Structure 1
Amino acid sequence: MSTVFARRFPATDMSVGLVLILVAIGAPRTVLADLGIVPPNSGAVYFVLALAPFIVWLAVAVVRRSRRPFADFVMVGVVYGLTLVGIHQVTWGVGRSWGYRPPAAAFEFAARFDPGWYDIAARGYTCGIAMMIGVGTGLVVAVVAVLAGWVRGRTNRSA
């Protein structure tokens, strides 16, 4: 286990373990929402599951010193996006019996294609949205991490 926290995640200044933890804390909301157990916007539990992971990301971005704060959180965002893609694709098939309904926008998008491409277009749309959410969130937190490092550096120089 200690090697997971000793090895650096590619292109970052973060350990593999830290990246995996930051990504993993966002997964329960996605799984529970996709399976209809905790539907989106359904109340306090959903909002805690949805927002707590990003509060943790922001806390790590502000508190943790890094030589590559931007790359750290862009990569966390990319891995998070890939995790969302994986969860959505798995629940797409399995989740229907649990009440999962892929987004209507995916089917509206797919309707523009020939029937042979319909499923690929709908799944591709969902994958694209998942990656935009992951990378977009990573970019926002990356900017916060850079600003926190800049403020920390200015504070250290003036002290």
Structure 2
Amino acid sequence: MTTIAPITPADHADWLRLWAGYLLFYEQALPQEVTDDVFARLASDDGLHGAIARDDDGAAIGLVHWLLHPSTWSTTSYCYLEDLFVAPDTRGAGVGRALIAHVREQAAAAGAAKVYWLTRQDNATARGLYDRVARSTGFVHYETSSEPGRPERG
């Protein structure tokens, strides 16, 4: 049975291994200072929330990060599920679904109107799950640098 618990300082090594797998999946590299900062904020629960899924033997097999923010379309907050990762050798066993359910429970307890997230268009495995637990909004994601003088497109 999968158990899910909030990230604590004691989870650092397990979280780091899962985080590295997540970044590898998305072909991203972050400076060590960013990784250190993310974990510090998750472990102190200062507005960035996180949880780790563990199997029956206590091995860390998944992670999820989320945050609550105000909305201009609601009198309550929204919950953005920012990162979700399940170890490749445990995918298909319900861990991702359980992590999403955990975030939904946390969002409901905080009074958030909805939970939403993004994924790559070609992430077929994850989208198979997402299509079963949520609805696609049809929106297309754009981004640009916030730094003046930097090109709008990279």
Identify the TM-score tier after normalising by the shorter chain. under 0.3
TM-score of the two chains, using structure 1 as the length reference: 0.27
TM-score of the two chains, using structure 2 as the length reference: 0.27
Which structure has more helix as a fraction of its residues?
1
Which structure has more strand as a fraction of its residues?
2
